[in-house]
Every structure is written in C-alpha cells, then in structure tokens.
Amino acid sequence: MKKNESSLTSLISAFARAYHSRYDTPLIFDDFIAKDLINEKEFTSISENMIQGISFFNKEIAERLQHDPEEILKWVIQIQLSPTPLARAAYCEKVLHNELMLGAKQYVILGAGLDTFCIRHPELENSLQIFEVDHPATQQVKKDKLQDANLAIPGHLHFVPMDFTKMFSYEPLLDKGFKSTKTFFSLLGVSYYLTREENANLISHLFSHVPSGSSIVFDYGDETLFTAKGTSNRVEHMVKMAAAGGEPMQSCFTYQEIEHMLESSGLLIYEHLSPDDIHDLFFCNRADDLSAFETIHYIHAVKK
C-alpha cells in the first residue's frame, strides 16, 4: 500500500459484508454495522464498478444477465467478493468468543480495516481490551466514517497506527495500555500480501510478549493459490485484482510449511479448516451462489 493511502481491500471487504447483511439469507455473518460505514455514494459507486466489470469475471454471465444489473451485482458479490470475508470473520469471532470464556483479556486485530467487532459488542467493554493495528491512513478513514455515522469510539477500543507488514513493534501497543496477559490475535486477509519471511517474522514478534495460551486465527492460501482457477476462474481473478489494485499477493504455503513456521515461534495448530471444511461449516444447503473459496484455509494456533 502506498504511503498515505487507505486500503482498497478493506473498503471492498466492508462493502461485501454490508451487502450480505442487507440482501442475503440466511446470514453467514451479520455485520449490521458495516452498512453504516459505507455511505450510499460509495455503495453505489462500488456496485456500479462491479456491474461494469462483469465481462472480466464471466462473459457468459455478462451476456445472459445484461438487462438485469441487480442480478449481475449479486453474482459478482456472491461468487467473487463475499465468501472469504464472511466465512473468515464468522470463524474468527466464533473462536474469539470461546477464547474469552477461557480467559483472554485482550484482542489484537492486525489489519483491522473497517472491522466492527468492538461496535457490535458493547457488552465487552469491561472485560476485553481491543487493539486495532493498521496503517495510519486506513485508521483515519475509519475514524472519519465512525464520526459520519454518529458512532462513538468505545473506551475499550484502542487505535494503534502501524505499518506492521514492514516492521512490527510492541512499543505503540504498550503505549496504549497493552499488557502481558492472555491475548487473542486475528490476522485476516493479510498473509497473502506478505512474503514468507515477513509472515514468519510477524508471527514470531507477535508471540514474544504474550503468555502461554495466547492464540491467533489467520487465513492463508495453499500451494495452488497462483495456479488454481476456481469457480468461474475466481481464484485467478482474485490474484489479478490484488495486483491491479496495488496490493499484490506474494505468498502461499503447504500445510506442512505453515506448521513448521508456527512451531518455530512456539505455536501449535489447534484447528485447521480446509476449503471443504469451511464449506461444510458455513455454506451448506444454500440456494444462492455463496460457496467456500478454493485454495483458502483457516488456522487457529495456540502458544505452547
């Protein structure tokens, strides 16, 4: 991401969550606040761009639905945009709620973008400290959007401006009140954009200041990420769109490589979800086009 530029992927992810909350049923993940952070002008502009780009995604669908822009938009969102942001958020928050019952006191969201967990769960104000770590420009956009939506920043939410993809430091977190207590981390939609070395260094640094039992949920692309096509070539499209948007994907892993990387930082894999597992957990028996994205896996890893 270029200096002083907010993340485009965070905006598109929030748009996908907002659309799902508005129009899809049943809901995989109900981010009922996302629609308040995407104003009508942005929602319309992104929608129009997706509709106009249908030929890039699928020429056959473009021709068949050429007179029905709403169906075109629905197809693009359900096939291409929504599956991963929805399912990984649902999985992450499911794990988080379990970790809270097991004593986690801090939640660090790396690459938070327009995440709304803190706003959706005011009941946790006295039991969980939340630290959103992201690029300063992205955080400023979020603050502006919260203000525009008349949403107050809760007392237990701490913004930590940092380009952690280049160099992670605990100093800014400590300055915001971070303590060496049981902590849950989320790293969603980030690993793809880092090199293998950057991923390994980040994980190592993250768990250097937290006790045993602290854990992380993250998603990653498997070894077929840069060769697989996927349904309607959506995996290939995802990789191409990331590059065109100035945030190219850089890494993928075999399960054994992920396991080794985590072991090197003293972590054990508690749960691994393959694309088939993710489909069974979140997408079964749907009548629409939503389905688990090929090549993308979820990991819950715990510090020994």
Using CA atoms, how far apart are residues 296 and 249, in angstroms rounded to an integer? 13
Within 10 angstroms of residue 215's Cβ, the number of other Cβ atoms is 25
pLDDT along the chain (304 residues), means of 10: 58 95 97 94 94 95 96 97 97 98 98 96 96 95 96 96 93 97 97 96 96 98 98 96 90 98 98 98 96 98 98
pLDDT at 298: 98
Q: Is the torsion defined by CA of 137, 138, 143, 146 positive or negative?
A: positive
pLDDT at 165: 87
Using CA atoms, how far apart are residues 166 and 127, in angstroms rounded to an integer? 31
pLDDT at 301: 98
Using CA atoms, how far apart are residues 49 and 36, in angstroms rounded to an integer? 20
Q: Using alpha carbons, select from 206, 193, 155 the residue that is nearest to residue 176.
A: 155
Find the radius of gyration of the CA atoms of the chain. Answer: 19
Q: What residue spans in the chain does CATH classification 3.40.50.150 cover?
A: 88-303
Asked if residue 292 lies in contact with residue 231, where contact means CB atoms within 8 angstroms, the answer is no
pLDDT at 4: 40
Contacts of 108 (CB under 8 A, 6+ apart): 130, 131, 133, 173, 178, 183, 184, 185, 186, 206
Work out the widest C-alpha separation in the chain, in whole angstroms.
58
pLDDT at 62: 96
pLDDT at 6: 55
Write out the CATH class of domain 88-303: alpha beta
At residue 220, what are phi and psi to the nearest 5 degrees? -150, 160
Pairing of strands 215-221, 296-303: antiparallel
Phi-psi region of 58 (alpha: psi -120 to 50; beta: other; left: phi over 0): beta
Note the pTM of the prediction, 2 decimals: 0.95
pLDDT at 3: 43
